[in-house]
Amino acid sequence: KNQVEQSPQSLIILEGKNCTLQCNYTVSPFSNLRWYKQDTGRGPVSLTIMTFSENTKSNGRYTATLDADTKQSSLHITASQLSDSASYICVVSGGNSGAGSYQLTFGKGTKLSVIP
Amino acid sequence: EAGVTQFPSHSVIEKGQTVTLRCDPISGHDNLYWYRRVMGKEIKFLLHFVKESKQDESGMPNNRFLAERTGGTYSTLKVQPAELEDSGVYFCASSQEYGRYEQYFGPGTRLTVT
């Protein structure tokens, strides 16, 4: 069964600190892995997309890593800001053949709260 | 450039009634997707349109759900008759190409069935 597991479920950090969110997946065959940021009441917004051959990708203060052998990914947030408070969702594309070969499988997300 | 828009933002209906959700994708995006998040669960795929054709509808839960995309522009998702378990947030997304391309999500429609 295609699954994406994220940890921790929630996290509270002080403004200015760094944090790392984890993602494990069992989606196969694998196409790509995405991290999304979802603010309350809004749709998910893409942060990074990584394919099998990419093991790190940055977007400003966000750095995602991918280990396709162990099927693990992480999202590192540097120098957190209050505006980073959101849910961060790990999403894996693949897991099917034919028309649904790039179908997205979502994790439940990690709810990050950055406090002053 | 306008993003993906969805209407209504929130709908409250009684069990057995009909509701139609609308999604307007980013102009020029041939690929349109519907997703759903029920409370406490992850977002799940419902279906994928390429222009007006249903490319993949493997995630549609049952035949009470009907999605259309006439003319290959906006899409509607009708739930008839609605059941309590249909409550959740319905997201629409669009992309220029399919595959490893970014999908742009709308703000979602929160559906509450009482």
Beta strand A104-106 pairing with A45-51: unpaired
Chain A residues closer than 8 Å to B55 by CB: 99
Residues linked to residue B99 through DSSP beta bridges, in sequence order:
none
The pLDDT value recorded for residue A35 is 98
Give per-residue pLDDT as tens, A71-92. Answer: 999 999 999 999 999 999 999 9
The percentage of residues in chain B with a pLDDT greater than 70, rounded to a whole number, is: 99
Question: Please, are residues A104 and A91 in contact by the beta-carbon 8 Å criterion?
Answer: yes
Q: How far is CA A98 from CA A65, A88, A101, B52, in A?
A: 28, 29, 5, 19
The pLDDT value recorded for residue B2 is 83
Chain B residues closer than 8 Å to A99 by CB: 48, 55-56
The pLDDT value recorded for residue A99 is 67
User: Along the 114 residues of chain B, how does pLDDT read in single tens digits?
Assistant: 689 999 999 999 999 999 999 999 999 999 999 999 999 899 999 999 999 999 999 999 999 999 999 888 999 999 999 999 999 999 999 999 888 789 999 999 999 999
Beta strand B44-50 pairing with B31-37: antiparallel
Across the interface, which of A89, A104, A108 has its CB nearest the CB of B45?
A104
**Cβ separation of B56 and A93 shorter than 8 Å?**
no
Average pLDDT over chain B, rounded to whole? 95
Return the residue in A38, A66, A102, A110 with the most chain B beta carbons within 10 A, the one to mutate for interface testing. A102
Q: Does B74 touch chain A (CB under 8 A)?
A: no
Give per-residue pLDDT as tens, A7-36. Answer: 999 999 999 999 999 999 999 889 999 999
Across the interface, which of A45, A93, A106 has its CB nearest the CB of B42?
A106
Chain A residues closer than 8 Å to B103 by CB: 46, 104
- Gap from A14 CA to chain B (nearest CA, Å): 26
- Gap from A98 CA to chain B (nearest CA, Å): 9
Going by C-alpha positions, the residue among B53, B49, B12, B19 that lies closest to residue B34 is B49
The greatest distance separating any two alpha carbons of chain B, rounded to the nearest whole angstrom, comes to 39
